[in-house]
Structure 1
Amino acid sequence: MPQATPMQYLRATLYYAGFYPVTILYSLICLLLGPVLPFRARFTLFTGINYFYMLWLRICCGVRVRVEGRENLPNDGSAFVAVANHQSEWETLYFQTLIRPQAVVLKRELLKIPFFGWALGMLKPIALDRSQRRGALRQLMAQGREKLEQRIPVLIFPQGTRVKVGEMGRFNKGAAMLAVDSEVPVVPIVHNAGRYWPGKSFVKRPGTVELRIGAPVETRGRSVEEVHAEVVGWLEREMRAIGA
């Protein structure tokens, strides 16, 4: 990627000058009100700030979003497993506006981040200890099944960690295993946010994030291997197509 310009550093500084104070204030409100709200109302309240994040990102850094295939997201309240490639902190913010409500699978350490992590923990994510691989899979299956039975979609990043633009990484089978076990569809999603908000990068580059949502992949009567191969095949094709 080309070297960041002084203007891009300035715009990123402006973004964070708004991001952190608003996050701290909003998180305090959420932490006070969250315990008395049922889960769905709590999710609506807590993630309201994400719309500000996306607007502020566009104003300060010129990062926009174009979505294709939104009609492929089930909107009848049914449960499903969503899987997406993992490139950027952008996903943490945007996906909570895309799939509502949701239970996201994440690493447990994120819940220790002051204010943001504390509030995130009250949204009942599936927080895995990645150092305990077998235990993490059992936790994913048990807690994921519970969320899906409550008709709460589960969001999984099967690459497990952020992967640089142009690299595929390895897609694990946990999402396919959970979906087949619960007999719910898998909805594959790809994006190229790493082009504009690289992982752990202070600077955000202006441009339009392309996000594509694929048709749900049915799991009833199919093996984990079949479902996993179909989902990964779609993810890899579409990632190449959008330069992810």
Structure 2
Amino acid sequence: MAAVRSLIFFLLFYPGTLLYVLTVMLVSPLGTAPVRKVVHGWSDFHNWLVRHILGIRFEWDGEIPEGPYLIAVKHQAMVETVESLRFARTPVVVMKRELTTMPLFGWVTLRYGSIGVHREAGAQALREMMAKGKEAVAQGRPVVIFPEGTRVPFGEKPELRPGFAGLYRALGLPVVPVAHDSGTLWSRGLVKRSGTIHFKVGEVIPPGLKRDDVEARVHAAINALNPPSAA
């Protein structure tokens, strides 16, 4: 049954995504508001498919505060990246540059305001990320970052990438850490299991902390739902 559900999901989601991408291109000359509305419609479409086709529910412990925050999210699967458009309310999302250079879809991510990071570019990538992050703050938008830099299987707790600390220092924003266990249902494979994905919003971390301190607090908070025995 899980394989059938997953097949139906992919057959609906990817053609549907293409329609939303084309719609963004059509409304783009009208300004940012129509673009955001269509992108949020796409995230709602994804949420509906996840719930009604894959049979996955979302359970939240805590709420994401409104306003300009740096929201640090555990990264285990694609599902939380799309869901971030819903729970963070018009965020600027920091993502790997490869996604922003994809045909059509990449243009939409940039038009929406996402930040593409070329991880091999070093200091230059950090400067570009900080500059675009400051633009987001000036607009009153939160910034979503996946501080581990890449997807990791459920239970793994890699160290945070250096870009997180640099962005934290440059933006001067409090951090909202978000833990979840999406990897228990949504693996890198094609088959997605039904069940419940749990999200836990950690205590807001103030700006201005030393690098080691903020990294340790964020690392602990985003891994709050991982097994205690995991390395």
Matches of 2:34 and 2:65, distance apart in 1: 20
- What is the CA distance between 1:149 and its match in structure 2? 2.3
- What is the CA distance between 1:79 and its match in structure 2? 1.2
**Corresponding residue for 2:41?**
48
- What is the CA distance between 1:229 and its match in structure 2? 2.0
Q: Which amino acid is the alignment partner of residue 67 of structure 1?
A: W
Q: Does the aligned pair in 2 maintain the 1:173–1:228 contact within 8 Å? A: no
**Corresponding residue for 2:139?**
150
Matched, 1:132 2:126: no
**Corresponding residue for 2:196?**
208
Pick closer, same or farther for the CA change 1:238–1:192 going to 2, 3 Å. Answer: closer
Matched, 1:15 2:9: yes
**Corresponding residue for 1:59?**
52
Deviations 1:138-171 (A, max 9, x none): 2222221221122111111111111111111221
- Of 172-181 and 143-152, deviating more is 172-181
Pick closer, same or farther for the CA change 1:167–1:25 going to 2, 3 Å. Answer: same
Deviations 1:214-241 (A, max 9, x none): 1211114x32332222222222334336
Matches of 2:34 and 2:89, distance apart in 1: 11
Q: Which amino acid is the alignment partner of residue 100 of structure 2?
A: L
**Corresponding residue for 2:151?**
162
The 3-state SS of whatever aligns with 1:240 is coil
| TM-score (norm. length: structure 2) | 0.91
Matches of 1:171 and 1:62, distance apart in 2: 32
The 3-state SS of whatever aligns with 1:131 is helix
Deviations 1:161-201 (A, max 9, x none): 111111112212433332333321000001111111113x2
Matched, 1:230 2:192: no
Matches of 1:239 and 1:41, distance apart in 2: 38
| TM-score (norm. length: structure 1) | 0.86
Matched, 1:119 2:113: no
**Corresponding residue for 1:240?**
227
Q: Which amino acid is the alignment partner of residue 228 of structure 1?
A: E
Could you tell me the percent identity over the aligned residues?
Answer: 32
Listed as ranges, the gaps of 5+ residues in structure 2 are none
Q: Kindly tell me the number of residue pairs found equivalent between the two proteins.
A: 229
Q: Does the aligned pair in 2 maintain the 1:176–1:186 contact within 8 Å? A: no
Q: Does the aligned pair in 2 maintain the 1:145–1:178 contact within 8 Å? A: no
Matches of 1:116 and 1:63, distance apart in 2: 25
Listed as ranges, the gaps of 5+ residues in structure 1 are 1-6
- What is the CA distance between 1:41 and its match in structure 2? 4.5
Q: Cα RMSD over matched residues? A: 1.9
The 3-state SS of whatever aligns with 1:197 is coil
Matches of 2:166 and 2:155, distance apart in 1: 27
Matches of 1:105 and 1:117, distance apart in 2: 13
